[in-house]
Structure 1
Amino acid sequence: MTHTVEFLRRLYPGDDQDRAGWGVRIDGTDLRALVAEATRAGWSQEWDGSKEPPDGREAYLMTQHAPLVMADDAHARRHFLGDPDPERREPETGAMALLGCICGTDECWPMMATVTLTQDLVTWSGFHQPYRPEWGILAMGPYVFPRPAYDRALADPVRFPGRGLLSVSGDHGTDDHTSEDAGGASGETS
């Protein structure tokens, strides 16, 4: 079974002209929502008998990761075509980050996966959190995308106006620099 992929792009807060957050939707669902569900059991074991996250478990699950922060569009394309920066790849497994940390430093809390590219298909599999090896491979994927559709989605990402963060809720107005930039395009969610 093949899946559909959309890449989401929004200029990142700050003065860098080309720096952007790159998110992903698979079959219309934000990758962060898929990861939230897949990591629920691991987090639940850690939370049993310990302090709850400040905003509650569900809020934490949905906001544990952020879109990757890329220097420019060419950098993002190289990354998602299997040529990530060394700090976004595990040398021992070859897995690469598909999501980063909410702090803006992707390697701080990445979501890793093996990305396999052929002439016809792109496959994302073996999702795991490198800082929680006890969780093992997460129960998500593999996601198989037709290569031509993947390449088109990467070349023409869904672009959100203004500068800010791509949130799971679809409220793309967070951290905007001007009020006229607030909000994403009508009907667009990440």
Structure 2
Amino acid sequence: MANNEIRFDRRQRDDRGVLEIVLHIDGTPLTELIDRFEMDAGMQPAGDAYGGLIPEFFRFGPMEDHFHGRSTNAMGPKTPLLGCECGEWGCWPLMARITVTPELVTWDSFEQPYRKTRDYTGFGPFQFDCHQYDDALRVLSAVIGSDADDARV
């Protein structure tokens, strides 16, 4: 399977005045990918339901730990990748299993925990080169720690 490319974008949410992290896979926001999948599958509600993660609203811990699936013990075995469009991840999260090997980071077993009957087996898996993934995470962590108003990671 070909590797995907990950990018973590940081942006200010004008409606809430907070930092939001939006994930991009192969240049497309994960929010768009999941919206398209859910709408094509006839899921309701669907479309514009998800937003990025807002670290200020929840203590995810270090981004490296979170996006390696190590910060979610209190949330179960899966990791929230997206939150609700309202800004709260617990309201309407997209969860996935994150598996890390020396070569690859894999996201699979996606779920919307509040709609257990939804079938996401056709969504993903996404596999990232471990070095590219970790480089993107290091940039994200550096940008989150900076005072820049708006940066693209």
| TM exceeding 0.5 | yes
Secondary structure of 2:122's counterpart equals coil
Cα deviation, 1:85-120, whole Å, max 9, x if unaligned, reads 445x3x2xx121100012222111000111000111
**Residue 99 of structure 1 corresponds to which residue in structure 2?**
82
> How high is the sequence identity, in percent, across the aligned residues?
31
Give the AA of the match of 1:5: I
1:66 paired residue number: 51
Task: Quote the Cα distance in structure 2 between the aligned partners of 1:77 and 1:122.
Answer: 12
Matching residue within 116, 124, 139 for 1:133: 116
Using the alignment, how far apart are the partners of 1:21 and 1:86 within structure 2? 22
Contact 2:51–2:82 under 8 Å retained in 1: yes
Describe the SS at the equivalent of 2:113. coil
5+ residue gaps, structure 1: 48-59, 163-183
**CA distance, structure 2, for counterparts of residue 79 and residue 11 of structure 1:** 20
Aligned to 1:150: 133
**Superposed CA RMSD:** 2.9
Q: Structure 2 CA distance, aligned partners of 1:135 and 1:73?
A: 26
**C-alpha displacement of 1:38:** 1.4
| Mapping for residues 12-51 of structure 1, pairs under 5 Å | 13-14=16-17, 20-42=19-41, 44=42, 46=44
Larger Rg: 1
TM-score, scaled to structure 2 = 0.79
8 Å CA contact 1:97–1:113 kept in 2: the answer is yes
Change (3 A) 1:100 1:138: farther
Question: 1:126 deviation in Å?
Answer: 1.4
What CA distance in whole angstroms lies between the structure 2 residues aligned with 1:129 and 1:74? 22
Contact 1:22–1:76 (CA under 8 A) maintained in structure 2: no
More strand by share: 2
Q: What TM-score, normalized to structure 1?
A: 0.65
The one-letter code sitting in structure 2 at the alignment partner of 1:146 is D
Paired AA for residue 84 in structure 1: S
Alignment partner, residue 8 of structure 1: 9
Cα 1:73/1:148, change in 2 over 3 Å: farther
Q: Is the 8 A contact 2:69 2:78 kept in 1?
A: no
Distance (Å, rounded) in 2 between the aligned partners of 1:45 and 1:79: 28
1:123 alignment partner AA: T
